Amino acid sequence: MNKKILRLAIPNIISNLSVPLLSSVDTALVGRLDGVYYLGAIAIGAMIFNFVYWGFGFLRMGTTGLTATALGGKRDVEVGVVLSRAVLAGMLGSALLLVSQYFIFSGAMMIVSTSDEVREFAALYFYIRIWDAPAVLALFAIQGWFLGMQNARFPMYITIFINLLNIALNIFLIYGLGMTVDGVAYGTVIAQYAGLGFALFLFFRYYGRSYIHLGRKALLAIDGLKRFFSVSRDIFIRTMSLIFTYSFFTIQSAALGDEILAINTILMQLWYIMAYGVDGFAYAAESLTGKYMGAGDKRNLKKAVKLLIAWGMGLGAAFSLIYYLFDAQLLRLFTDNPELITLGLVYFGWTVFAPLVNSFCFMLDGIYIGATVTGPMRDSMLISTFLVFVPAYYISVGFIGNHALWLAMVAYMLARGATLLWFLPGKVFSRMS
């Protein structure tokens, strides 16, 4: 079982860590430009796209779980229909985003309090970056399908290709052509479409056309649609709550000033690096849990769950140790501003502690997604966001300032882990009794 876990997890860890690597390189590049408002603009722009694209996270997560359970149950036609249905949903979603782009940005700016410079450059970034929507959403579906097929190598190849190309383009556009946040946006758009082309090449080369089902009867089958939209709805609500939390964090950081926004953005990069690393095991959990649920193999399901949680938390502990030992050195990777480094050390303790807490709930998320038991994930996120995160911030902010944001984030992660664990026996294992 450990070999199966590592065979899926290691490629996922490698590909996942390349995602925050890109974000970290962007932060480091922009952090060395004159003016902290460039960092603020990237933070606001990233917040908007997190809200927009994470909202479509069901295209990746739902596709993985549904594909894996169909594969485990040896339902080959359904395996192909899941992919076609997800890609079609992604294309419709991207068309909606492009049509409504002005309203998305204007609405975001109505709730964000920031300087005129940050607003100006955030707009420049957004109106370029939004044009990668069709590629991003199609890649969500295709990569989720690969993972459901127990193939973690192809998503790794695709993600590394996209991010290395993106980094190279950003360096060239910023340092070679003298661009600022517009260079970051153009680099992202070009890299996403190149990545989609690469993903389609891999699909047709190794899977062929046999898994493409575009017939109206198959795509619109009532049972399949009900299952797809049920899973998608729960993951969407769960993801919207997640996005609300991170957006709230960014908005409140901006309200505390450009310096707090800049350092919170840098520290959050370290949270993302840890999250993407541990998510390598969470993605393995999606693939294996879905496969064993589809096959009705309760013994291997329980064994996999225990081992996956142990692996994920072990990696989380390793991140905590690294953050503890190299706090100032890590901050210097993102900025050469001594005031920001000093400010970052004030709040760095939260970054050291977070991986011990976060890794547990990330692993449980993967188990629920793979099992396509999405209702408890939705409920857990709503409880953690609105009954824990928001009250924790407002109760403590008057006493501890910016520390309140980090306290609320840690409390939120603790609540997610506790509620998901509470639901696990009755909502996942009981389905196979």
Mean pLDDT of 189-204: 95
The domain of 259 spans 2-432
How many domains does the chain divide into?
A: 1
> CA-CA distances (angstroms) from residue 340 to 36, 334, 343, 346, 348?
10, 10, 5, 10, 12
pTM of the complete model: 0.78
CA–CA gap between residue 26 and residue 370 (Å, rounded): 32
CA–CA gap between residue 105 and residue 96 (Å, rounded): 14
Mean pLDDT of 227-243: 83
Low-confidence winner among 30-39, 146-155, 204-213 (lowest mean pLDDT)? 30-39
| pLDDT for the residue numbered 197 | 96
pLDDT per position as a tens digit, 311-331: 999 999 999 999 999 999 999
Q: Is the pLDDT of residue 358 over 70?
A: yes
Q: Which two tokens stand for residue 377?
A: 């994930």
CA–CA gap between residue 365 and residue 61 (Å, rounded): 10
Mean pLDDT of 13-23: 67
Question: Which residue would you say has higher pLDDT here, 359 or 4?
Answer: 359
72 CB neighbour count, 10 Å cutoff: 22
In sequence order, which ranges of 114-180 are alpha helices (DSSP H)? 116-129, 133-148, 153-171
CA–CA gap between residue 433 and residue 42 (Å, rounded): 49
Q: Is the pLDDT of residue 431 over 70?
A: no
Mean pLDDT of 41-65: 83
Average pLDDT value for the chain: 86
| pLDDT for the residue numbered 202 | 94
pLDDT band for position 157 (cuts 50, 70, 90): very high
